[in-house]
Amino acid sequence: MERSRPLGISRLDSTRGPYSTIEGERLSDRDAFSHNSYSDAGRVRLMHHDARWRQEFEQTRSGLLQGCQGRVVAVEHIGSTAIGGVIAQPIIDAVAVIADPVDFRDAVLLTEGLNYRTAAPPEWAEDGRRQQLVLNKPRYSETTHRVYFVTQGSPLLQRAIQFRDHLRGNPAMAIEFEAAKVDVWRQVEGDASGYEAGMVEVFEHFQPA
């Protein structure tokens, strides 16, 4: 049975490359994807995948593990920048895992000292049952890094890793996810709040069973 198509996006032909639809339309620079700039205030810009994002994550991971002085025990790369070849916002998303809940506040304070600021979690990441917090970097300009602080066993951590690994292991599905993401971006004309709301449905659609 063919998988239902999210949000009315055209089904993609995985044999024709990550930016080609069956109808032959190419998701190219004409769609205003930025190659070198971050989101404007209230706007979302998407970039073609940059191989340097992995290195950026590794530097982020190292900085958090060292800077939090043992309070953070693991850092995972999540989101679209963690999936090779997929168009994404140029923001490195990571989950930092704190083993002991009593260390949560200290870990956050230490991270704020690394040029991060606290931020409201996106709708898909909210979980009132567990201690968690989002910090964005840098402190005073457009966000380039976003870290979700959670405790061990967090459902957010489990969902994010399952989602990442599911798309990493299914290239055709990753292409379909990319198309749905671009479709949302077009529908809301880059509006940040509209994009976030639309992506909740996309993430739910592609979440592995």
**Quick one: pLDDT at residue 209?**
76
Length of the chain: 209
What tokens does 199 get? Answer: 């992506």
The answer as to whether 193 is a domain residue is: yes
Neighbouring C-beta atoms of residue 163, cutoff 10 Å: 19
ω into residue 208 within 30 of 0, thus cis?
A: no
Could you tell me the CATH number of the domain that includes residue 70? Answer: 3.30.460.10
Query: What is the domain count for the chain?
Result: 1
Give me the domain span that covers residue 175. Answer: 31-198
Residue 1 located in a structural domain: no
Q: Is the pTM of this model over 0.85?
A: no
Give the tokens for residue 100: 């002991």
pLDDT number for residue 5: 35
* Residue 144: inside a domain: yes
Q: Are 174 and 156 in contact (CB under 8 A)?
A: no
- Is residue 17, in this structure, part of any structural domain at all? no
Does the residue 21 lie in any domain? Answer: no
Task: Please check whether residue 44 lies inside any domain of the structure.
Answer: yes
In a domain, 143, yes or no: yes
Could you tell me the mean pLDDT of each successive run of 10 residues in the chain, 209 residues long? 36 34 35 39 89 97 96 96 96 95 94 93 62 88 94 88 96 96 96 91 89
6 belongs to a structural domain? no
Nearest to 193 by CA among 35, 48, 53, 39: 39
